[in-house]
Amino acid sequence: MTATAKSSTQIAERITEAMLARKLAPGTRLGEQQLAELFGVSRTQIREALTRLVTRGIVTVSARRGWYVIEPTPEDARDAFEARRVLELGLLRHARPISADAIRKLRQHVEREQASLEGDDVASRSFLLGDFHVCLCESFGNTLLADTLRDLTTRTTLTAMQYQSSHHARQSCAEHVGIVAALEAGDLEQAEQLMHNHLCNVEAGLDQSLRSDSLSPLRQALAPLSENADFATSPPLKEF
């Protein structure tokens, strides 16, 4: 971090950004002492930041276990996508005309998305793809909806973290480009339809991945250590 101490609000936003960038996986423990040392603040400030994130529904806390990044279920993801559709499509349906400056900023954003697809920085790519939707809300001047959408996007990002391939990322970026083009042309109806299709595509991709092999994590964990390994012939496990 920097030598300048962060406020609890800044710390909460930094943690949220890390989730959107897929740097903090679902279930990650957020230790108070470690975070206090990292940010150069007191544990009281860390607790204030984490409490904010609990209120926003992206961190959970247990008296015995501590603070953790949420682990959304597929059902949680579907609820979040449904909420995003209501929010984002409603915003476009009732939007005021978007300014030329806002269009310019959105174009710059999708250009950064496109550039990130050519590099190896998956974190930046993931953050930009999720943050596009927040930027779109901000372009219409509605910061309240932007804050709400940031939390919903974080929830869907955490759910999809292990499933989005570079192919899906390229498709999402291309769909963002189409939405911005429709907005620039002043066709809000087309932008709304493209956004609807985009959100459905992202959710469908997640559903397909989850259905393809729901036992994948357990399957990988229990795979033999070598081609010749066999549970029946392996020596008994030792406790350490």
pLDDT, tens only, 181-238? 999 999 999 999 999 999 998 888 775 555 545 555 565 567 666 544 443 444 443 3
**Domain 8-69: which CATH class?**
mainly alpha
Q: Tell me, yes or no, if the two domains 8-69 and 74-210 fold the same way.
A: no
**Taking 50 as the threshold, does the pLDDT of residue 11 lie above it?**
yes
**What pLDDT is attached to residue 235?**
41
Mean pLDDT over 84-91 rounds to 94
Check: CB of residue 123 under 8 Å from CB of residue 22. yes
Supply the pLDDT for residue 194: 97
Q: Cβ distance 149 to 134 under 8 Å?
A: yes
Q: What is the pLDDT of residues 195-211, one digit of tens each?
A: 999 999 888 877 555 55
* Domain boundaries along the sequence of the chain: 8-69, 74-210
Residue 87, H or E segment: helix 74-93
pLDDT digits (tens, 9 = 90+) for 112-138: 999 999 988 888 998 999 999 999 999
Q: Is residue 61 within 8 Å of 50, Cβ to Cβ?
A: yes
> Which residue would you say has higher pLDDT here, 212 or 89?
89
CA 37/CA 23 separation, integer angstroms: 19
Convert 39-66 to b/e letters by CB count within 10 Å (16 or more is b): bebeeebbbbbbebbeebebbbeeeeee
Task: Please tell me which of 29-33, 144-148, 201-205, 215-219 the model is most confident about, judged by mean pLDDT.
Answer: 29-33
Residue 62 is classified by DSSP as E
| CATH assignment, 74-210 | 1.20.120.530
